[in-house]
Amino acid sequence: MDRAHFIEQLWKAFALLPALLLGLNAPIQASAMPIPFDYSDYAAALTEYVDDRGLVKYKELKANRQGLDKFAASLARLDPRVYDPWNEKEKIAFWINAYNALTLVAIIDHYPIRASFVGWFRFPKNSIRQIPGVWDKLQYAVMGRKFTLDGIEHEILRATFNEPRIHMALVCAALGCPNLRNEPYTGDRLDDQLDDQTSRFVKNPRKFRIDREKRRVYLSPIFKWFGEDFAKTYGAEKRFRSFSETERAVLNFLSGYVDRANKEFLEAGNYAIDYLEYDWTLNEKELENRRQATTTTFPLFLGAAI
């Protein structure tokens, strides 16, 4: 190749350089656009194995866990560069789904749950509390990092976001928890979903109720454990004056979800707050079926005996 021809080819290469650089930059520009997370496998598991009251068919889920495991694997593979452009609601929805899904994984990994010697006397024998280290020792991969369930709840959701309604959505597989929703949370519907969760929660007398005769308001222990999370958004200096700052915030929050009569009672004051006992029984569909069968057959047995 002579010198003139070499110079000609070199200039052609330089002429193509801008187009080449633009092509190389295209994937980077595309990746800056928010890419929604695929919840389809998780949605299918929830639809199939969780009923409208949040009870789970754990035995069936364990036998057909492929979809849930596939979703858990997708949590682990998620590139942080895909996560970063999401808006706050999308991120909150992602972490709530991660927590609830990985809790399901923890249960079916240990199902049927066996009571420990010490736990037998303190908690129901099928409780998540019987699984050693379930919140602070067992680790799960999310975006290539290892997290405990406590880490997701306290170090990510509570520490990063000011959204106390997460406590109406995080489900620790116990009847005392909010109901497990049989659909994933999504950023575009998060407010409506969290409001619906709260409305359902306050309608459950095992989690919230008012006794007008005794002048008592009974609250779930969730509001004692995490009441401080409500203070920033729902703080009420001039209302509920006879209560602490945290209690005022909780009462202000709840007053937005109860009916008019209960709201007026809460705002009038002159009552005491008591905290209900937390039910650590597993939120299992099969367990409820067994309870119903026992309730049905027991009277029949007595009738036959008589």
pLDDT tens for the chain, 306 residues: list them.
Answer: 554 444 455 444 444 444 333 343 444 344 468 999 999 999 999 999 999 999 999 999 999 999 999 999 999 999 999 999 999 999 999 999 999 999 999 999 999 999 987 777 799 999 999 999 999 999 999 999 999 999 999 999 999 999 999 999 999 999 999 999 999 999 999 999 999 999 999 999 999 999 999 999 999 999 999 999 999 999 999 999 999 999 999 999 999 999 999 999 999 999 999 999 999 999 999 866 555 554 444 343 333 332
Show the tokens assigned to 84.
Answer: 């970063």
Q: Is-contact 99 42, C-beta < 8 A?
A: no
Q: Is 292 exposed, middle or buried (0-12, 13-18, 19+ CB in 10 A)?
A: exposed
Rounded Cα distance, 208 and 210, in Å: 7
- Which residue spans within the chain are E strands per DSSP? 140-142, 145-147, 208-211, 216-219, 272-275
Q: Is-contact 227 283, C-beta < 8 A?
A: no
Q: Please tell me the predicted confidence (pLDDT) of residue 291.
A: 56
Q: Please tell me the predicted confidence (pLDDT) of residue 292.
A: 55
Q: What's the DSSP call for residue 99?
A: H
Q: Which residues does 193 contact at the CB level (< 8 Å), separation at least 6?
A: 169, 181, 185, 186
Q: Is-contact 128 180, C-beta < 8 A?
A: no
Whether this prediction's pTM lies above 0.95 is answered by no
Q: Please tell me the predicted confidence (pLDDT) of residue 287.
A: 65
Residue 50 phi, psi (nearest 5) = -125, 130
CA-derived radius of gyration, the chain: 26
